[in-house]
């Protein structure tokens, strides 16, 4: 099992994929700004919640703050008391990319971890797949608000980790996850129609995707990535067989993710660019 890694803005593992961010606000699609939590009623005590460690960092002398992604409660920050002590059982459990059963208590923004058990059943990530995993974690940490459940995205995350562990083509796996993340958080939009006119995207057309407005026909003065209609239609169908679709979708997702991150760099992306050219 890999050691838990801090991917916060200041100190973190770095990985690159092809993504930079976008909020698509197409007609009929409600856009929710990233990282702004909606009002929730926090449960006082939770037990047996499926989750994964996204990152952790030291807290006081013997404890950790652990940011976890859970199926039914979204991102949650937990204090793992005594986790840094040499003989703490938590040291070997709070690892990234390992399925856990978690429990916590408290009503504040940072709650207290009351239990963590390794569930098992997943292969470890190795080499390039491990870097891709840290990239996924950084995306979730920086784009998801706390206490905002996304059970479908959680299931997609589990499936993506399994695909990476089984050495499926990383660029395709990552593009699918990036697209799912934007759609799940309300900023993905429909890539099959133009914003405003609602004209259908055609395969032989050339388009740009405005982060706040959506798809439109490209013009000579555009600085955004120029994307063929075929690529947009392929992406909507999760079909990345075509090499042009793979290349264009990488640059499009990089552009869109960059916008949604508000200029905040993805520490893991540059490493992936340097090592794997994903």
- State pLDDT tens for residues 29-82: 444 445 544 545 455 899 999 999 999 999 999 999 999 999 999 999 999 999
Whether 26 is in a domain gets the answer: no
Please check whether residues 134 and 241 belong to one and the same domain.
yes
pLDDT at 187: 86
Residue 217 near residue 195 (C-beta atoms within 8 A) = no
How many Å apart are CA 165 and CA 275, to the nearest integer? 18
One domain for residues 183 and 212: yes
- Do residue 143 and residue 271 come from a single domain? yes
Statement to judge: residues 145 and 271 lie in one domain = yes
Q: Among candidates 36, 35, 17, 27, which has minimal Cα distance to 210?
A: 27
In the chain, the number of structural domains is: 2
Coil, strand or helix at 81: coil
Residue 105 sits in the same domain as residue 214: no
What's CA 36's distance to the chain center, in Å?
Answer: 15
Identify whether 29 is part of a domain: no
Where does residue 259 fall: left (phi above 0), alpha (psi -120 to 50 degrees), or beta otherwise? alpha
Whole-angstrom distance, CA of residue 266 vs CA of residue 250: 15
One domain for residues 108 and 134? no
- Is pLDDT of 10 > 60? no
Does residue 215 form part of some domain?
Answer: yes
Q: Does a structural domain hold residue 272?
A: yes
181 & 259 share domain = yes
Give a yes or no: residue 32 inside a domain: no
Cβ atoms within 10 Å of 80's Cβ, excluding its own: 25
* pLDDT single digits (tens) 71-129: 999 999 999 999 999 999 998 999 999 999 999 999 899 999 999 999 988 999 999 99
Q: What is the pLDDT of residue 278?
A: 53
DSSP track, 92-126 = GT--BTS-EEEEEE-SSSEEEEEEEEE---SPPP-
Measure Cα distances from 60 to 65, 67, 124, 162, 178 in Å.
9, 16, 30, 35, 35
Question: 3-class DSSP state for residue 53?
Answer: strand
Q: 16 pLDDT band (50/70/90 cuts)?
A: very low
Q: What is the pLDDT of residue 107?
A: 87
Residue 23: inside a domain: no
Give residue-wise pLDDT tens across range 219-249. Answer: 999 999 999 999 999 999 999 999 999 999 9
Q: Are residues 97 and 135 in the same domain?
A: no
In CATH, what number is assigned to the domain containing residue 222? Answer: 1.20.1440.120
* Domain assignment of residue 235, given as a range: 128-276
- 231 with 249, same domain? yes
């Amino acid at each position: 099992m890999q050691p838990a890694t801090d991917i916060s803005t200041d100190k973190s593992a770095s990985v690159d994929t092809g993504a930079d961010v976008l909020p698509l606000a197409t007609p009929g699609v409600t856009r929710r700004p990233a990282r702004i939590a909606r009002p929730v009623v926090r449960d006082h005590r939770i037990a047996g919640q499926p989750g994964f460690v996204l990152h952790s960092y030291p807290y006081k002398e013997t404890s950790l703050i652990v940011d976890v992604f859970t199926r039914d409660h979204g991102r949650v920050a937990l204090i793992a008391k005594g986790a840094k002590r040499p003989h703490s059982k938590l040291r070997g459990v709070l690892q990234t990319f390992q399925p856990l059963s978690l429990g916590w208590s408290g009503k504040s923004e940072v709650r207290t971890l009351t239990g963590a058990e390794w569930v098992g059943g997943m292969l470890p990530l190795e080499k390039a797949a491990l870097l891709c995993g840290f990239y996924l974690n950084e995306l979730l940490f920086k784009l998801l608000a706390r206490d905002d459940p996304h059970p479908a995205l959680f299931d997609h995350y589990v499936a993506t980790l399994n695909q990476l562990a089984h050495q499926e083509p990383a660029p395709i796996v990552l593009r699918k996850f990036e697209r799912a993340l934007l759609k799940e958080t309300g900023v993905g939009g429909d890539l099959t129609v133009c914003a405003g006119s609602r004209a259908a995207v055609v395969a032989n057309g050339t388009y740009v995707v405005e982060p706040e407005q959506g798809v439109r026909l490209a013009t000579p003065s555009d600085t955004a990535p120029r994307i063929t209609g075929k690529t947009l239609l392929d992406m909507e169908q999760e079909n990345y067989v075509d090499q042009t679709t793979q290349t264009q979708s990488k640059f499009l997702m990089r552009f869109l993710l960059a916008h949604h991150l508000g200029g905040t760099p993805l520490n893991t992306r540059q490493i992936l660019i340097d090592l794997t050219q994903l």
